[in-house]
């Protein structure tokens, strides 16, 4: 994974006119900051963009992963979403976790938890009147400090038609070179339930996940929601990833889906978890090479006014490198 200096250089290279660090936030940055500080985002009346982040308030700041929360007029269903990942072979959740533990032990990863996260995310902009959707990819980098200061930079990807199979399954993120947000956060601007460097034991991870909303007797979906919020804010060590996977397994209810290649071209295995109300399912992607949790993908299970059942409505990816992002 690139260090902070490499990340900074890549962001500067992608923007021909980067915002100075000490520049005051513009209107767009102020709106972004406001989203950090409150959970609900009011949808636009006709042109709807999915702005309801599943990971909670501060996950908005961390990844801008665009997920569910779309509202539209009755009967305005919009088709056309990326094809699901195709899995091969069979496995169990226990086997996936065992294999991940082996890979984690054999592959060097971050030696300490870091308050730096680089995320590729995709969401949908929906034009209700035209009944069309456009995939809106983004590349975000969050660097923050215990006092709530930091910097969040978001680079827009190149939008594309979700029915474009080549674009939907490309093994790289195509940057438009446009920095849409370059937000310098003052102390206290970035709110998080966990500011101290977390330990690596099971109890440490339970305490951290509970701080991010996991209940005392969690389902696999509860574990997944909390760990997604954590990974939106922290780059964790391999030992911590191992504990997260064990907690996901212990919760029960996850479905192992075998092997596939994720939308960044990486070899992964998948564990699907379902929300208690049956409205959505989330697919947790685990790298077959490193054993780390590298992505989450969300699927609608119950049709709504915009998306049909089975539609892929968001994905977010972590552990990015220079080869997978252009």
CA–CA gap between residue 308 and residue 301 (Å, rounded): 8
| CA–CA dist 58, 62 (Å, integer) | 6
pLDDT at 267: 96
- Give the contacts of 11 (CB within 8 A, at least 6 positions apart): 18, 141, 153, 155, 179
Segment 121-170, tens digit of pLDDT = 877 777 767 767 777 788 899 999 999 999 999 988 877 776 665 555 55
Dist. CA 307–CA 171, nearest whole Å: 25
Surface-to-core class of residue 215, CB atoms within 10 Å of its CB (0-12 exposed, 13-18 middle, 19+ buried):
exposed
Instruction: State the Cα–Cα distance between residues 203 and 210, nearest whole angstrom.
Output: 10
Residues linked to residue 271 through DSSP beta bridges, in sequence order: 256, 284
Question: Hey, what are 167's tokens?
Answer: 């674009």
52 contacts 67 by C-beta, under 8 angstroms: yes
pLDDT at 81: 67
Give every residue of the chain whose pLDDT is below 50, as ranges. Answer: 1-25, 27-79, 171, 324-325
Closest among 228, 188, 190 to 208, alpha carbons compared: 228
pLDDT in tens, 204-247: 999 999 999 999 999 999 999 999 999 999 999 999 999 999 99
The DSSP secondary-structure symbol of 148 reads: S
User: Looking up tokens 């947790």, which residue turns up?
Assistant: 284
How high does pLDDT run on average in the chain?
76
C-alpha triplet 298, 92, 286: angle, nearest 5°? 45
Q: Where are the domains of the chain?
A: 4-317
CB 178 within 8 A of CB 155: yes
Q: 153: Cβ–Cβ under 8 A, 6 or more apart, which residues?
A: 11, 140, 141, 179, 181, 182, 183
The pLDDT value given to residue 165: 52
Measured distance CA(92)–CA(323) in Å, rounded:
31
Backbone angles phi, psi at 270, to 5 degrees: -130, 140
At 197 the three-state DSSP class reads coil
Query: Would you state the pLDDT for residue 45?
Result: 28
pTM of the model: 0.77
């Amino acid at each position: 994974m690139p260090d902070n200096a490499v990340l900074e250089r890549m962001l500067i290279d992608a923007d021909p006119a980067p915002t100075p660090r000490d520049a005051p936030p513009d209107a767009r940055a102020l709106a972004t900051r406001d989203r950090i500080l409150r959970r609900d985002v009011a949808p636009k009346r006709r042109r709807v963009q999915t702005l309801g982040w599943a990971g909670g308030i501060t996950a908005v700041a961390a990844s801008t992963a665009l997920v569910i929360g779309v509202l539209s007029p009755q009967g305005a269903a919009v088709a056309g979403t990326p094809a699901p990942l195709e899995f091969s072979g069979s496995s169990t959740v226990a086997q996936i976790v065992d294999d991940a533990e082996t890979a984690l032990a054999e592959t060097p990863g971050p030696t300490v938890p870091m308050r730096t996260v680089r995320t590729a995310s995709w969401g949908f902009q929906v034009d209700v009147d035209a009944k069309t959707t456009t995939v809106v990819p983004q590349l975000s980098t969050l660097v923050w400090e215990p006092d709530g200061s930091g910097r969040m930079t978001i680079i827009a990807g190149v939008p594309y038609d979700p029915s474009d199979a080549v674009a939907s399954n490309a093994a790289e993120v195509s940057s438009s070179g446009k920095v849409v947000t370059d937000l310098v956060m003052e102390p206290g601007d970035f709110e998080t339930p966990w500011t101290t460097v977390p330990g690596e034991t099971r109890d440490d991870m339970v305490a951290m996940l509970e701080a991010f909303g996991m209940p005392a007797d969690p389902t696999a979906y509860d574990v997944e929601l909390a760990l997604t919020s954590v990974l939106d804010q922290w780059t964790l060590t391999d030992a911590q990833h191992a504990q997260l996977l064990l907690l996901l397994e212990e919760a029960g209810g996850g479905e192992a889906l075998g092997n596939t290649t994720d939308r960044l071209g990486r070899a992964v295995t998948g564990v699907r978890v379902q929300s208690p109300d049956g409205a959505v399912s989330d697919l947790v992607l685990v790298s077959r090479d490193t054993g780390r949790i590298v992505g989450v993908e969300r699927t609608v299970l119950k049709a709504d006014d915009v998306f049909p059942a089975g539609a892929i409505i968001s994905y977010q990816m972590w552990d990015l490198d220079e080869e997978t992002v252009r």
